[in-house]
Structure 1
């Protein structure tokens, strides 16, 4: 059985029919999952590559969690900003490489911004872009998009009515802070999940405690490494004056 199968789609913008590929559920088995829910799969069957569907006729790109329909005003806004510059014939309906997946997510991001998609959807796209750069081992770009995702998640938390009880959202903000080397901010968010009595999500409470422990261990390891480095420098500095005195002594002699 092939890992990919085709599905029929109707473009929300131009209404034309096209096909896109998805990974069969039986192949969606990650080798491991990072704390921020990034799954690691075999490259040839990575379901994250196929989350975004792209219309080959106008370039409109979206995810299943996005809007189910858009208004004429949104269509016009998309066409003015992106669709009018789309090159017909660009095709993402078959098997995708990592580079093609990145292109699809960036198209989805531009589309979401053009039509005024919900911030939660935009945050998810940004987070997925960070994951794709993680697969590519591009730490600089990963950190860039994780920072954008974190800022977007915070906006969701601050502006959506149910955010105060969204334990997963709070956990994600904490975890992205941890990954961006902001331990104090990370602990602040993890502690909110653990200590807020309104939160009953046992899984997220446990995960927050675990990552809080990871931060403590990371900070202890960092402090030990810094102490070792200072000790080594002190040892080198202790030997340097002796060499200087010998040089001066021989010079004077």
Structure 2
């Protein structure tokens, strides 16, 4: 049954996507971008690196994580800081804005569109000297999108790039003050290391997580690290048995 009040949209007519007004961090021009209404976002499960697997793949919130300014091309997420270090805006103007062929990503996005927006944001973030932890999150999400496409080489490529940024964030401490904790960074470094085939590094990082379990508030991550650590040990035993069979 539809609601007949003037100006009120019925539940049946409500669309997953809506327009959100944004202001470009660089040029300050206003525009709109699409977002998915939370009621339509249904996660079936998460991969071990926190990649969300949606019940309805067409309502994938990852596609709309990045804002692309249609006026200047500067691309960013809501996690970007508003501060631009000296000379970075000039670099962005020269390397992004002056080469920008005005177009927009403000309509419904395909997975290919989404990948383009993330790569633009990664480039802009590098020019802006955005924190390593922010760059790591962007690169990890690109890997997830390639995982959805089953493009393993590209997924592995961006997992490696994300790992470098997580390691840089950990060593510099630039995750401090963000929603990403030390335990979460170490866990992700371990999980990514395992995914790219570096089990020695994975064991090291998972062990570092377990060493912090007394002071860590994230019991679920501690459990995940323990489970992953045991998986590696079991795989090692199985491999050794097979080698001597």
Task: Report the TM-score range of the alignment, normalised by the length of the smaller protein.
Answer: 0.7 to 0.9
Q: Extract unaligned runs of 5+ from structure 2.
A: 1-13
Question: Does the 8 Å CA contact 2:85/2:129 hold for their aligned counterparts?
Answer: no
Larger Rg: 1
2:164 paired with 1:151: yes
1:57 paired residue among 50, 67, 71: 71
Question: Does the 8 Å CA contact 1:92/1:100 hold for their aligned counterparts?
Answer: yes
Question: Does the 8 Å CA contact 1:12/1:70 hold for their aligned counterparts?
Answer: no
2:210 paired with 1:194: yes
- Distance in 1, matches of 2:238 and 2:21, equals 52
Residue correspondences, number: 226
- Distance in 2, matches of 1:224 and 1:80, equals 59
Shift of 1:126: 0.8
Question: Does the 8 Å CA contact 1:130/1:145 hold for their aligned counterparts?
Answer: yes
- Distance in 2, matches of 1:205 and 1:15, equals 42
Query: How well do the aligned residues superpose, as a CA RMSD in angstroms?
Result: 1.9
Shift of 1:72: 7.5
- Secondary structure at the counterpart of residue 45 of structure 1: coil
1:124 paired residue among 123, 137, 150: 137
Bigger helix share? 1
Q: What TM-score results when the alignment is normalised by the length of structure 2?
A: 0.86
- Secondary structure at the counterpart of residue 22 of structure 1: strand
Q: What TM-score results when the alignment is normalised by the length of structure 1?
A: 0.83
Q: Extract unaligned runs of 5+ from structure 1.
A: 232-253
